[in-house]
């Protein structure tokens, strides 16, 4: 199936079907690994290792292939102890890490002689290498793990807690892909090459997975992730920004106290791209995706109590419900009036009066100041309202739309109290 999917003679719609079949086949292999004869299991192990180390599998096949590798290793020998199984897994994880290291080093140094043909191939290889690094780092991951529980194998799950840290060189290579430009050697006098957006986007995801297993690495990378979310960056890539936002959301669940202070930057993504001068269809669609991810991620964190309503976070959600993109507006409205209102029944009532002052930018009024400092506790990290301009006649229709939304979800008693 793999050879057919790689053949230029195979129609694109057939390639998609073949890839889907390969994914399902790998998942079936993972589940039936205990029933596979030893000889066939060893053959499958060897083949999967080759495919992964040669980067012949697309990212959507890498995860299932690694899961199949783990399952086959666990059931390769019935007499192996949990520690032996972990040792066997560690060996091939290290081998695959080395392959990723060599691949990234080769692509960055641009050793290929066929430059024109190699650009797309190198981008593809970089993406697959980075995705493989991330997937390997997640082997044995548990959401409740800590440094004490790692490497603690059990007969029920001999892989639980295992973590093979990549080499410092591989970590540095992966982090170098976060930059807009590929690193240059001292002897390289050619023009500096841009890092492909796809490679950067995958680098952020890979880094996020590594951070989930390593708290010290997470501490060092939080500023890098937050920097990518700033709205004043030139040539901002929506795919990269979206991935950085999602990674911060996952890290907020794992390391709540570390990520909590980055809430203002995360909240600003609810209006990502709205102030941009680039009005092209592709750019608008990309930034709309960032805003959608912002709505989904922040609402999930709020519902699970990983973050609180701080500063003007509610009002940013409210503005999202009147977004110029219909998909974003509908999603924000559904989220506000559905799960968030169910979790916080007085959400609109408690914020209606403040909204009159906030949306009209009456920043000198005490009510505005009180709303802006909600939940800050003097830390100076409350969610602000920068980049949003809905005051005056130009924003009148949007403001009315938001007022109607709140009033339509308030009881008659709440409406009367709001007017008092």
What is the mean pLDDT for each group of 10 consecutive residues in the chain (420 residues)?
A: 70 79 92 90 94 94 95 81 87 96 88 54 92 95 70 66 92 93 70 87 96 94 91 73 95 92 93 66 76 96 94 95 95 97 94 93 91 77 87 91 94 81
Q: Which of 122, 21, 1, 104 is nearest to 64 (CA)?
A: 21
CB atoms within 10 A of CB 357: 20
Q: For residues 86 and 65, give the distance between their C-alpha atoms in angstroms, rounded to a whole number.
A: 18
The tokens for 100 are 């990723």
* pLDDT score recorded for residue 118: 57
**Residue 417: inside a domain:** yes
pTM for this prediction: 0.88
Spatial contact of 396 and 276, defined as CB atoms under 8 Å apart:
no
DSSP annotation string for 102-166: HHHHHHHHT--S-HHHHHHHHHHHHHHHHHHHHHHHTTT--TT--TTTTT---SS-TTTT---PP
* The total number of structural domains that make up the chain: 1
**Residue 1: inside a domain:** no
**Residue 5: inside a domain:** no
* pLDDT score recorded for residue 114: 44
* pLDDT score recorded for residue 408: 94
The tokens for 171 are 């970590």
Q: For residues 382 and 375, give the distance between their C-alpha atoms in angstroms, rounded to a whole number.
A: 7
**Residue 319: inside a domain:** yes
The tokens for 110 are 């641009």
Q: For residues 84 and 73, give the distance between their C-alpha atoms in angstroms, rounded to a whole number.
A: 10
The tokens for 18 are 């073949």
* pLDDT score recorded for residue 113: 41
* pLDDT score recorded for residue 4: 65
**Residue 420: inside a domain:** yes
Q: Show Cβ contacts of residue 237 under 8 Å, excluding neighbours closer than 6 positions.
A: 197, 200, 201, 286
Segments forming the whole domain that contains residue 331: 223-420
**Residue 354: inside a domain:** yes
The tokens for 34 are 């205990």
């Amino acid at each position: 199936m793999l050879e057919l999917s790689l053949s230029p003679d195979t129609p694109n719609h057939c390639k998609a079907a073949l890839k889907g079949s390969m994914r399902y086949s790998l998942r079936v292999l993972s589940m039936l690994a205990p029933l596979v004869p030893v000889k066939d299991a060893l053959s499958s192990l060897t083949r999967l290792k080759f495919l992964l180390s040669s980067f012949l599998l697309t990212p959507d096949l890498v995860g299932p292939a690694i899961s199949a590798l783990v399952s086959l290793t666990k059931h390769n020998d019935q007499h192996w102890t949990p520690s032996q199984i972990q040792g066997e897994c560690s060996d091939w994880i290290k081998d695959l890490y080395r392959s990723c290291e060599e691949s990234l080093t080769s692509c960055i140094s641009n050793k290929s002689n066929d430059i024109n043909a190699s650009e797309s191939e190198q981008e593809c290889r970089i993406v697959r290498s980075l995705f493989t690094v991330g997937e390997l780092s997640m082997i044995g991951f548990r959401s409740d793990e800590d440094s004490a529980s790692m490497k603690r194998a059990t007969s029920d799950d001999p892989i639980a807690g295992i973590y093979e840290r990549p080499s410092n060189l591989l970590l540095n290579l992966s982090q170098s892909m976060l930059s807009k430009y590929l690193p240059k050697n001292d002897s390289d006098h050619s023009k500096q090459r841009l890092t492909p957006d796809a490679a950067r986007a995958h680098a952020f995801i890979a880094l996020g997975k590594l951070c989930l297993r390593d708290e010290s690495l997470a501490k060092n990378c939080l500023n890098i992730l937050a920097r990518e979310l700033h709205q004043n960056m030139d040539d901002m890539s929506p795919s990269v920004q979206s991935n950085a936002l999602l990674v911060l959301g996952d890290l907020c669940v794992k390391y709540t106290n570390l990520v909590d202070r980055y809430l203002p930057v995360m909240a600003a993504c609810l209006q990502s791209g709205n102030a941009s001068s680039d009005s092209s269809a592709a750019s608008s669609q990309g930034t709309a995706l960032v805003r959608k991810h912002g709505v989904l991620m922040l609402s999930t964190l709020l519902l699970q109590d990983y973050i609180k309503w701080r500063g003007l976070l509610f009002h940013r959600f409210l503005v999202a419900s009147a977004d110029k993109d219909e998909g974003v507006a509908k999603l924000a409205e559904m989220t506000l009036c559905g799960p968030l209102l169910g979790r916080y029944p007085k959400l609109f009532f408690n914020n209606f009066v403040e909204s009159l002052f906030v949306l009209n930018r009456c920043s000198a009024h005490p009510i505005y100041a009180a709303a802006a400092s909600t939940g800050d506790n003097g830390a100076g990290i409350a969610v602000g309202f920068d980049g949003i301009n809905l005051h005056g006649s130009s924003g009148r229709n949007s403001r009315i739309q938001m007022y109607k939304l709140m009033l339509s979800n308030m009881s008659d008693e709440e409406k009367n109290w709001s007017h008092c």
